[in-house]
Structure 1
Amino acid sequence: MMKHLILISFLFLVTTTFGQDRNIHVRIYQDGDSSFWYNWEMKLRNRLKLDVIQKTSNNWYFRLWIDERLAIDIWETPKGKQLGKITSWTKEITPNGEEPTNRIYYQTSSLDSIQVAKLSTLIQTSQINTIPDENYFPNWQEVFDGSIYTIEHADSKDYYFKTYSSPDEQDAIKEAHIVQNFVDRALEITKAIDVWNDFSETIPFEYYSTGGSINIMRILSPKEQRRFKKERDKYRRENSNK
């Protein structure tokens, strides 16, 4: 599911009206299909039970997707209160020759008021919302197995979906440095690494993804391996018709 697997043809920005009378700004290809990452993350959003930003009734909403394992949300309610949350997730990986389960596991926790205030200030001072999608920059280079960051943000009139691959490797693009600095600071404010590490201790899978091409395999006894396989087989049987 890496970005380099997408064959990019002619690219342009589309604006339509959807939900709360917002203009939707999403990358569209010549064949009329929308961005791979947009399609993929909209499906993932539903599985993680995250808010549909395009339809939000809040004053504004901002979401940062980090690789394939974290999402940081912050928003302002119609009454002017700012709130936030962080979601960690992983997908189960099955051994070679075994049918995939397609299971995901996730946890969501609220950010405290200090974290929310710092994130809100960061969004404003960094002007991250003004930086266009990476495809706006002709010299933005693809990096094999690099990091992928996606930003969704909406106000009362517009919704944007923008993707940035490996901004830390784009030495000639000043906007890429702004994106990377923003991500680094957002991770620091939310203590996202600690959140992920705590989350990883609860993952109920034998094999799982930590984002990108990195997978983790637990070191288990033969008895424990048989127990996990039995559990996967049961899950597939119970969900074969869903």
Structure 2
Amino acid sequence: MTGRVLVLGGTAEARQLAARLVAAGADVLSSLAGRVADPPLPPGGVRVGGFGGVAGLTAALDGDPRPFAAVVDATHPFAATMTAHAAAAAAATGTPLLRLQRPGWTARPGDDWRWVDTLEQAAAAMTGHRCAFVTTGRQGLAAFAGLAAPCVVRSVDPPAPPLPPRATVVLDRGPFTVAGERALMVAHGVDVVVTKDSGGSMTAAKLTAARELGVPVVLVRRPPLPAGVPVVATVEEALAWLGR
């Protein structure tokens, strides 16, 4: 790859891509949103914090004296705002843009999955359950603030209020094991799991544990991607695109 590459990161795939590019001698800058207090950092240059909307990202892409030759948006599948900003800024500057997004999860025999479109719909789907295991991340937990039943909320960093009044907060970072997820669900009497369709193996153990325990899973669908942006599912495909 000739020229400077901006990797919009925060995911395992973004870190792997940056490592491969740096090892190949490419000039790489990884950008992290800064929502996690102590994120694992990729090799190469790193910046933390927002760009200041589309205008700020546009200025960064076209910056003098070192404009970017390409952008890879490898942010979380639910980082819809950043993905939209990347598409707009890339179009405004004529910078080639690729979306690197891991595939969503696929149901297996024995899974009881209930699909919804929003966190608010996920909260409504929990009505009648005695204890929910909420693993949607600390952003957006306000959607669950009206829950009367007990729930277990897991997040990497302490979530800010409002929280469900009977929430037990578990601070932990994946990868998680099936045995650990099963033990947590049994200990708290969890009878429904609520999560986003993040995909990947880091947090998939809860789905296996739920299947083994006969616990239903409420899954929030991914937001749509901007039209016209090429999408790949693997780091290898992203490297091939950059090579072209």
Which interval holds the TM-score relative to the shorter structure?
A: under 0.3
- Which of the two has greater strand per residue? 1
TM-score (norm 1): 0.22
